[in-house]
Amino acid sequence: MLAAVPAGGRVALVDPRFVGHLHALRLGLTDPRFDVAALPGALTAQPGARAALVRALDRTVAAVGAGSPVGPPPADPDAEDRTVPGRLAVALETGGTPVQRPELGSLTAAVPTGPQARAAAREAVAAVDDEAVRLRNAVKAHDGFVTTFLVSPYSRYIARWCARRGLTPNQVTTASLITALVAAGSAATGTRGGYVAAGVLLLLSFVLDCTDGQLARYSLQYSTMGAWLDATFDRAKEYAYYAGLALGAARGGDDVWVLALGAMVLQACRHIVDFSFNEANHDAVSNTSPTAALSDRLDSVGWTVWLRRMIVLPIGERWAMIAVLTAVTSPRVVFYALLVGCSLAACYTTAGRLLRSLTRKARRTDRAAQALSDLADSGPLARAAAAVVPRPGGGFTAPLLALTGAAAIIAAALLLPYGSPLTVAAAALYAVLSGAAVARPLKGALDWLVPPVFRAAEYCTVLVLAARSDVPHALPAAFGLVSAVAYHHYDTVYRIRGGTGAPPRWLVRTIGGHEGRTVVVAVCAAVLTHASDFTTALTALAVAVALVVLVESIRFWVSSSAPAVHDEGELA
């Protein structure tokens, strides 16, 4: 029977005596993220695991025929699944193929062997409404206060409505993006009516943003591209809305592009702190600390959990604040609130991560060091410097070198006369020091700070030079450049988190790496002295980076053979 199924098809084996909830079977047999999954009396295998399933079947037949066990004795003999699917699952695991066993919770999945057991299983099925369980499980387990209490209670029903009409999570994600872009356009009108409409549409976009993930969990429609679209579109929506607010303010005679770009830089740096810290500690050995123990104790008290989630200003709270302030105040007030709120949140989260890193006794793995190296986004200049300039010994030399270089270029851009050749020299020093920082594997306790420092150095240099240039439209062009580069950095994060590795080296070389782009911007500021030349250079650089990065990113995600994922995402 297995041989008769086309090689590209997924197969499922279910014991005919199976009694259980329909949603238990969905969880066990239709989740696309796992090659092999099993629950009592049922087993499924995707095309990539079909050969392993056939081998397991041969071994199982031989073992049963010889009267020998299929695998090692179970820890609980009473819980052993002695059905054909259960034996095959054990044989697969014994042969080295991982088998996913979903948590069923209150759902029932059993193979009763007698009338009494069958009656008991049917009573258990009747006692639990699996549709209610399915709806409840569609909501993310850990989320912010606004999302949990003000959106999810009704957005889950929107997700079910979408599922029953055949809509996919990617379609809902796209609808959320379009709604946010319309909101940005409304804000760009610069009128009070436009601001009110923008606030309402932004909230609607966030509801749809919650709905797409709930739809994916409700209908088990997980995909690599879906996780990428969800995460990428969140950034595109927020940054487009910032640009819309800046355009609307400009119509009213208020130039807030510096604030808009500052808010985008701050939010991007917050995210890279989260990503870098998590990657550094993803698989660290002996990953414990007193700070983490204190955090766990605080999580045992209900109100502190919600207070701590709100302090970090997650996306629900942030978008709600932006929407309300847009409707009732001005873009300048919105950006002031964003900068203050996100700065406090960044200080809180970064301080906690620093304490954890300094107090825990952990050994970084080669995988973590490679992830940090990829997140660093070092280009040809930094790599050439790394080959020539050795990094001094010591556990904190990498972040210290990165901080020194970043301080040098930001201070030069901020304090030296605009267009000074010394700014170019500072950029060259930054390239050398950033290369020295990554000359050895990033396995130190604070080496996860290196990528965030590089992000802050590049983004802030572009922001400061554009702000000080006093050239028309330089800040909007800088906003476009940082947006394009930030997209590349987020794309790198999502590739690593999806298990597909960093973007190809040719891509990083082509767009110069963080230090190469910083040097180019510094040179442009020093050389291009005519009124519009600096703006033209920033715009050309933004377009070039965006084209190269977008084409490669879309090619990769459309053709990727990465396993299907559903990214629960960061609170921020």
Please state the pTM of the whole predicted model: 0.90
191 exposure class (CB count in 10 Å sphere: 0-12, 13-18, 19+): middle
Work out the widest C-alpha separation in the chain, in whole angstroms. 90
Please give the average pLDDT of every successive group of 10 residues along the chain, which has 572 residues.
88 96 95 94 95 93 86 76 92 94 94 94 96 93 87 96 96 96 98 97 97 94 83 91 97 96 96 93 63 55 73 92 97 97 94 87 85 96 92 86 97 95 97 95 93 98 95 95 96 86 93 97 91 92 97 85 53 40
Query: From CA 334, how far away is CA 28, in angstroms rounded?
Result: 46
Compute and round to an integer the Cα radius of gyration of the chain: 27
The domain at 141-254+300-361 falls in which architecture?
A: Up-down Bundle (1.20)
Residues 37/85, Cβ–Cβ less than 8 Å: no
- Which residue has tokens 């959320």? 176
Torsion angle of the four alpha carbons 467, 485, 313, 215, in this order, in degrees rounded to the nearest 10 = 140
Q: How many CB atoms lie within 10 A of CB 166?
A: 8
pLDDT at 571: 39
Overall CATH class of domain 369-567 = mainly alpha
**Per-residue tokens: 68:** 């020998």
Determine the pLDDT at residue 290: 59
Determine the Cα–Cα distance for residues 440 and 436; give it in Å rounded to an integer. 8
Helices 302-311 and 290-299: crossing angle, nearest 10°? 110
For 156, the token pair is: 């889950």
How many CA within 13 A on the CB side of residue 400?
Answer: 9
Residues contacting 322, CB < 8 A, separation 6+: 199, 202, 241, 334, 338
CA 435, CA 450: separation in Å to the nearest integer? 11
**Residues spanned by CATH 1.20.120.1760 within the chain?**
141-254+300-361
Tokens 């500052």, located at residue: 262
What are the residues whose beta carbons fall under 8 Å from the beta carbon of 241, sequence distance 6 or more?
180, 183, 184, 187, 198, 202, 322
pLDDT at 328: 97
What is the per-residue pLDDT for 570? 43
- What is the C-alpha to C-alpha distance for residues 171 and 226, in angstroms, rounded to an integer? 10
